[in-house]
Amino acid sequence: MLIDTHSHLNFKEFDKDRDEVIKRAFENGVGKIINVGTNLRGSQDSIVLAEKHENIYAAISLHPINIEKEKFDEKAWLELAGHQKVVAIGETGFDFYHSSDREKQKEIFKELIKIACQVKKPLIIHSREADQKTLDILNHSESPFSRGVIHCFDRDYTVAKKFLDLGFLISYTGNITYNKENASSISKVPLDKMMVETDCPFLAPVPFRGKRNEPLYVKYVAQKIAEIKNISFEEVAEKTTQNAKKLFGLK
Ligand code: NI
C-alpha cells in the first residue's frame, strides 16, 4: 500500500471524473490520500472530500501564491484546523518563483505556523527558490516547529540535510523521474525520513509527463526511489506508508 501524501483532487482539473480517479487509486494500491487545500474555499472543499471518503484526509492552507487573492481570517482558519479529518497545516512557506510580496508570504507563513502549534498538527512546507528563508523561519519562529514535511523536494542532499536536522521529513513527487538532478538527494536521505506524493494534477511522472497527474501514479515515484536506492518497491511502499501514518497520525 502507498499513501499519496500530497494531492489536489479538489481542483477543477478533476471536476469531470473525480470519483473515478479516486476509485482507480484505491483499487490499485493507494491506501490513503492527503488532499491539500490552497485557499480558504479549497480547504473547505478538501474537508468535504475527506468527510465523504474514509481514506482521504485534508490539509488546509493559504498557499504562498494565493496570499494576495484573499484576506487571512485567523478565526476561520483556526476553526478548520480543528476538524478531525484535518491532519496537517499547509502547504505553506515561500514561493519566490511565482509571487513577489515576500513580506506578506512571511506573515501568512507565521500565522499558519501559529495555528499548527495551537492545534498540534504537522506542517506541509512549500519552499520554492527560498530554502534559506524557509529554514530561517522554521529555525527562529517563536515556537520552534519541527514536525512536518518538505514537499516536492528536488534539491541536493546538502539542502535536504538542513531540513532533516530540523526534524522534517522529505517528500518526493513525479519530477524525480525527469532528470538526475531532481533525484540527487534520494540516495542519501534515509528511507525512514521520506514520503511519496503526486502533487496532482501537476508534475505527472514519466511515462505520463505533461499529462494530468493523479494519485494512482504515486507508484512511479516509489518505483524510482526503489531503483535509486537499489531496494524493492515493497520496501519503499511499506516504509513511506509507515512514515506518513506516523507524521499525520493515521490509523
Ligand atoms: Ni501542492
CB 97 within 8 A of CB 65: no
For residue 14, how far is its CA from the centre of ligand 1 (angstroms)?
15
Q: How many C-alpha atoms does 179 have within 13 Å on its Cβ side?
A: 5
Closest CA to 154 of 137, 179, 136: 179
For residue 213, how far is its CA from the centre of ligand 1 (angstroms)?
12
Kindly state the average pLDDT of the residues 241-251: 97
Q: What's the pLDDT score for residue 162? A: 96
Q: What's the pLDDT score for residue 251? A: 87
For residue 198, how far is its CA from the centre of ligand 1 (angstroms)?
9
Kindly state the average pLDDT of the residues 144-154: 88
Q: What's the pLDDT score for residue 122? A: 96
Q: Residue 11 sits in which domain range?
A: 2-248
- CATH code where residue 226 lies: 3.20.20.140
Q: CA 33 to CA 126: how far, in whole Å?
A: 18
The number of distinct structural domains making up the chain is: 1
Residues with Cβ within 8 Å of 177's Cβ and at least 6 positions away in sequence, in order, are 183, 205, 206, 209, 220, 221, 224
Kindly state the average pLDDT of the residues 6-26: 98
Kindly state the average pLDDT of the residues 38-44: 97
For residue 120, how far is its CA from the centre of ligand 1 (angstroms)?
21
